[in-house]
Chain A
Amino acid sequence: MLTRRNFLNKTGAGFGALAAASLLEAGAKPSHFPTKVKTVIYLFMHGGVSHIDTWDPKPELTKRSGQTIPASFVKGLKTSRIDFTKAIMRGSPWQFRRHGQSGLEISDLFPNIAKHADSLALVRSCYGDAFDHAPAMYLRSTGSQFPGRPSLGSWSLYGLGSENENLPGFVVMSDGAMKCGPQGYGAGFLPAIHQGTVFRGGKYPILDLATPDGIAAKTQRTTLDFLNQLNQRHLAARQGDSDLEARLASYELAYRMQAAAPDAVDISSETEATKKLYGIGEPKTDDFGRKCLLARRLAERGVRFIQLYSGTHQGDDWDAHSDLTGGHNKMAAKSDLPISGLLTDLKARGLLDQTLVIWGTEFGRTPLAEGANGRDHHPYAFSMWMAGAGIEGGKVYGSTDEFGLRPVENPVDSHDVNATILRLMGMDHTKLTYFYQSRDMRLTDVHGEREFTKFLLS
C-alpha cells in the first residue's frame, strides 16, 4: 500500500500535500470520541423487507391469520394499496426458531445469518413516516424524505476522512440504479468529493477508470507524461496556485487508481475456502457474495464507508406486493450466505471489532395481506440489526405490538439510528455540522436524542 509520503514522492515535487490529500478527502481526521471502528459496511435491502417474516416473530398474528384487525389498532395508519380496516391479517409463512446461546428468534429465511445470532444486535422498533421507496430511502440515509441532503456515508467521510489515498472513501455497490437514484448516496450540500462512488462489476469498477478500448497502456502513459510536462510549464508561470497543483495531482491519482481499484476488486488471490464462505461460484449467491467479499477487501484497505444494495429498481428486489414468499425466498437465498460469510470472514481476520456491519431496509411490510400473497409497505414499524464494532450481540432493542404494527418499546426513527451509527464511529451527531443556508446543518437535524449506543456496547 502506498503511504502518503510515498505517493507524494512518486507524483513528483511541487504538489502541495494539502492539494493532493484534498482530492479524496484522504487522511484520517480525529474523531470526537475514541473508537476502534474504522469502517462501516451497510447492507441495504432495497424494496422493503418484511419485519414480521424475518426478525420480529408475531405468534398472535399467525393465530389470527385470516381475520380483520380491530379498527382501534390501525387508527391513523395508511398505505397506498390496502385499507387497514378491511384487509385481513396474515401470519408469517416462515417458522421462527431460537438461535445461539442467546436464543435470538430469527425466521427460517436466514439460516446462515442465524448462525451469528450471538453477534447480532437486533433493533425491532424502527419506524418512519415515508411510505414510498425513494422518500423512505432518503429518510434512512439522509434524514429527510426529500432528496438532496448528504447521506450517512458522505457525512462519515466528511467527518472522519478516509484512510486510503488511492481509493474513494465512500464506495457504493449495487446492480444498477435503485429507486432512490444517486441521491440515496449523494453528498447533498457537502463538497462533491464526499459523494458515494459507485463500483460497477468487472475489473475496472469506477466509471472511466479503464484506459479506453484501443489505447495501449504505454500510449496512455506517454500522453499522461506529455500532459504533465505541458501542465508543469503552465504552472511554472503561476506558482503557488494550489488549484492548479491539485489538478496536476489529480491525474497522477487517477492513474494510481487505475492500479489500486482493479487490485482491490481482483479476488483471484482469495482462497477457494474464502470464496466458498461467501457463496462465490454458486449461481444464486455468486453476485452478492462477490460484493460482500469486495466489501471486506475495501474495509482492509481503509475505505471508510461501504454501502451495498441487495436489489435494484427493476423488480428484482425485496418489494413484495404480490409474491411475498417467492420474492423474499429468492432475495434471502441470494444474500443470506454471503452476509453470513462476511461476518465469519471478518471475525476470522480479527476485523469485526473495527468494522460496523449494518443490515437495514427502507421500511417493513404490512401484517395485513395485500392480495393473495403480498404485503404492502409498512413504514410504521420495521427491523434492522448491527454487528461488529464491539457490539454485544445476541440481544434485542425495542419491540412492536403483538401484530407488528407499531413500536411499543424504545421506538427509534432514522435520526436515532443514524446518531447511533455516528456515535459508534466515534462522532457526536450534534457536533458533526456543515454550515449551509444559514444553519449548522446536521445529519440528524435537531433530533437523534434517542441514540442507543450504550445499549449496544454493554
Chain B
Amino acid sequence: MRAFVLIALSAYSVSAQDLAERAHGVLAKNCLGCHSSAAKLSGLDLSTREAALKGGHAGPALVPGDAISSRLYKAVARLTGVPAMPAANLLPSAEVAILKEWIDSGAPWLAAPSTPVPNWWSFQPIRRPAVPAAQSTWAKNPIDHFIAVKHAEKKLSPAPEADRATLVRRLYLDLTGLPPTAAQLADAPAYEQLVDQLLASPRYGEKWGRYWLDLVRYSDTAGFELDTHIPDAWRYRDYVIDSFNNDKPYTLFLREQIAGDELFRDDPVAITGTGYYCVGPNRDYFPDQADINRVETLTDFVDTTSSVVLGLSAGCARCHDHKFDPIPQRDYFRMQAVFAPFVKTRVPLSRLESLGFDTGENKREIQLREIGEQIRDVRSKCKDLANCADPADAAKLLQVQQRLVKMFANYKAKPFACGITDISDVSPKTFIPGKGKQEIFPGFFTALGGGDISLDPPELPVATGPIPYQPTTGRRTALAEWLTKADHPLTNRVIVNRIWQQHFGRGIVATPNDFGTRGTAPSHPELLDWLASEFAANGGSFKRLHRLILTSSTYRQTVAPNPADPENLYLSGFKRRRLVAEEIHDAVLQSAGSLNMKMHGKPVVPPLSKEELFNLIGRPEETWVLSYDPTEYTRRAVYMFQKRTFRLPMLEVFDAPESMMTCARRESSTSAPQSLSLFNGDFLLRQARAMSTELSAVPDPIQTAWQRILVRPPTAAELESATAFLAQQQQNAGTREAALTELVRGLFNLNEFLYVD
C-alpha cells in the first residue's frame, strides 16, 4: 500500500497549476455533486476557496498547508473523527494522494469556477452518440451495432436467431401479455408485420398499461384497516390502457398525469390522468387523521413521482440531506411545495351527464331515507320476504323491493373520474419540519439545474367545456414542464431503460428506479443515450421504441446460457422468463376457451372459496361484492378488483405487486405455494374442468389439448405417454372426462406453459 502511494505521488509530482487542476478534477468528480453552491449538503460548498475555507456545519474543510488537519483530507482518507467521504465509494489512493499534496502545498485555486452540475453520468445532458459500425453481418439495426461492439470487446458472439414459433410466442407475450393461439401462430405474418399487428392490438395497452400501473402503485382501494374504495380509480386504469393503445407521446402522458387539470382544462380524458395522485395508499376516510394523512400523501406524491419519472429515490432527503445523491433536504421540500395546494376531486367526464347523475342521486337519497325507515319498521319482524308472519309486513317488504327496482332501473356507474387539482391559486406554506419557519418555495432538484421557480398562476379563460374552472397555482404545470423539457437528462433515459428491461429482463441500468450514485452503472451507456435521444426524436412514441427493439437481432436470439456472460449482461443470448401473474391467469383462460376480451369498466370481483377469502378484512358480502354478470369473471387480470389488503390468491403467489410503493420490476419467484395454487387451486381446476367437458366431445382430445395449451402438436413420444396416462387415469378416476381434467391440469402446470423462451 505504502509503495503504491509513493509511486502514485511521484507520478503526480507536478507544477502548482497542474496540481490545482488535478485536485479540482478530483473534487468535481467526487465532491461537488453534493458540495457545490447549488446543492451544499451539510452546508458545505467546495466550489470556491472562500467557501471551502469557511466550511460547512461541521467547520472549515481546509487548513491550507496542513492536509492531516483538514476535514476534507480526513474524510477522503477515511481517518477517524469525520464521516468517511464520498459516502458511496472509496476514493482511489492516487486521488487521495493528489488531494493531500494539493492541500499541503497551500490548496491553490484555479481561476475558472468548477461546473455546478455534478459529474455523475446520469445528470449529464444526453448527447446522441454516433452508432458504432460493428464489423458484423449479424447487426440488423443500430441497437445491434452497439451490442455487437460490446460483444467484440468482451469476446462474445451472439446466439443464433430463435425459430419462428419461439419468436411468435415471445412477441405475443411481450406485446400483448397473451400467448398466441394455434390459429394465430399459423396465420402469423412475417416477423416485422407481426410486430406492427401486435402493437396495433388493443391487447397491447392492457399488457403495457399494467406495467405503468405497477409503477404508479395502482389499486382500487385505499389500504389500512378500512380499505375503502378509491372512488372511480378504475377510470384512471382505463385511461392508462387507452394511452398506451393510442401511443400517447410520453411527454404528453406525463403532463396529463402531473398537471392535466391545469394544462387541459377542457379535456376530461387528460384530467383523468391526474388520477395518478389518487390511486395510492391513503387514510382519507379515517377520522382525526387528516394531518398524518396529508403528510403521508405528500410524501407519497414526491417519492413516487421522483422514482417513476426521474429514477431517483428522493425519500432519504425527507429527513436529512441525501447521503449518496445530491438531493439536499431543502430540494425535497421544494418538490413537496409543488404539491402542497393539492386537493382530491371528482372529474366530471361530461358536464351534462354528471349533472344528470347528481340530480338522480339527489332524488334517490330522499327516497332511500324513507325506504330505510320502512325497512327498519319491518326488519325486526321478518327475516326476509318469505318469512314474514304478518302479511302486512310482507307487503311492506314487497313494496320496498318494487321501489328499489324502479329507482335503480336505469342506474349506471357515475360519470366521474378521480383526480387532483389545487385548492385555489394560493398555496398553503411549506416548511421543513423542525427547521424553523422559513418558507420553502416550490422548485426542483438543484443538482439537475432546478432550483426555485418563479410562478405566475395560469390565467383562467372563460369555461366553455364540461368542466367548471377553478383557480390553481400553476405549480404542477411548472413541474410537468421541467420534467418533460427537451434536455432533461433523466426523464427519457429512465423510461427507455424501463421498456428495455421489460423486453430483456434486465435494464441497461439494472436498477430502474435508481439512476443515482447507489444505482448500477449502465452496461451499455452509449446505447442508453442513443435510445433516449431516438425516443425523443420519435416524439416519445412507445410503439416506435418497441418496434426498434423488437426488430433487432439482439431481441431475436435464442436462449443460450453463456458461461462467459453468466448474467447475460451483454445480451449474448435471450433470457428465459417466467410468465408474470396476469399472463398465467389470462393464458389459462384463453387456452380453456373462456377468456372474455371485454375492455374497460368497473373492477371485476370474481367468486372465491371461503378458504381463499380467509384473509379478507370485513364481511365478504360487504367487502367482496361479486360482480353480477358471471361472464365478467373470466376477463383479463388487469380488470380484476385490485384491493390493497387482499390480492387474488392466484395472482399473489405469482408475485403480483402489493401496490404500496412503486414496483419497477416484478419479482419472479419460485415457490411451493405457486405449485399448490396451480395444481390444487380453484381457479385452475375450474378451467380444467370446463375444458375437459369440451375435450371429451372431440375426436382427438390429446392433440386438441396440446394445441390449445402448448400451441403445438404433441410429439410421438408425448402422444404415447399421454395416451397411456389417459387410460390409467380413466381407471383411477372413473370417467373419461375426469381423466381429461387430469391431462389438462398436468399441461397447465408445465414449465413449457409457464416460461417464455
A positions within 8 Å CB-CB of B: 19, 22-24, 78, 80, 132-135, 145-148, 176-183, 186, 188-189, 191-193, 197-198, 200, 206-212, 214-216, 218-219, 222-224, 226-227, 229-231, 233-235, 238, 240-241, 243-244, 246-248, 250-251, 253-254, 257, 313-314, 437-439
Contacts and interface: CB of A to CB of B under 8 A. Distances in A.
Nearest to A136: B225
Contacts, number: 206
B316 A439 contact: yes
B513 interface: yes
A219 B670 CA distance: 25
Contacts of B725: 222, 226
A132 B286 contact: yes
Given A206-B676, A230-B752, 6 more contacts: A182-B645, A188-B660, A208-B681, A226-B746, A250-B671, A251-B679
A253 B674 CA distance: 11
Given A80-B288, A208-B681, A218-B732, A223 B671 contact: no
Contact of A134 (B224, B287, B661, B667): B224
Given A147-B223, A192-B671, A198-B615, A230 B685 contact: no
A230 B752 CA distance: 9
Contacts of A206: 673, 676
Interface in B652-686: 653, 655, 658, 660-661, 667-677, 679-682, 685
A26 to B, nearest CB: 10
B617 A181 contact: yes
Contacts of A212: 680, 682, 685
A303 B516 CA distance: 39
Given A147-B660, A180-B225, A208-B676, A223 B729 contact: yes
Contacts of B677: 207-208
Contact of B576 (A178, A233, A243, A314): A243
Contacts of B281: 146-148
Contact of A182 (B292, B611, B615, B675): B615
A191 B612 contact: no
A146 B296 contact: yes
Contacts of B225: 132-134, 179-181, 313
B86 interface: no
Contacts of A254: 672-673, 675-676, 679
B744 to A, nearest CB: 10
A244 B751 contact: yes
Contact of B224 (A147, A186, A234): A147
A409 to B, nearest CB: 26
Closest 7 CB pairs of A and B: A148-B660, A181-B645, A134-B225, A179-B225, A438-B518, A254-B675, A208-B676
Contacts of B214: none
Contacts of B668: 243
A56 B371 CA distance: 50
A250 B289 CA distance: 45
A438 B313 contact: yes
Contact of A176 (B227, B286, B614, B750): B614
A222 B742 contact: yes
Nearest to A149: B660
A222 B728 contact: yes
B752 A437 contact: no
Given A182-B646, A241-B561, A200 B614 contact: yes
18 contacts: A132-B224, A134-B224, A179-B225, A179-B617, A180-B225, A188-B660, A206-B676, A207-B612, A208-B676, A208-B681, A212-B682, A223-B742, A231-B750, A233-B717, A244-B751, A244-B755, A247-B751, A437-B514
Contact of B519 (A23, A135, A250, A438): A438
Nearest to A137: B225
A285 B71 CA distance: 66
Contact of A197 (B224, B315, B611, B673): B673
B649 interface: yes
A198 B747 CA distance: 28
A227 B745 CA distance: 9
A23 B619 CA distance: 33
B690 interface: no
A226 B721 contact: yes
A438 B670 contact: no
Nearest to A200: B614
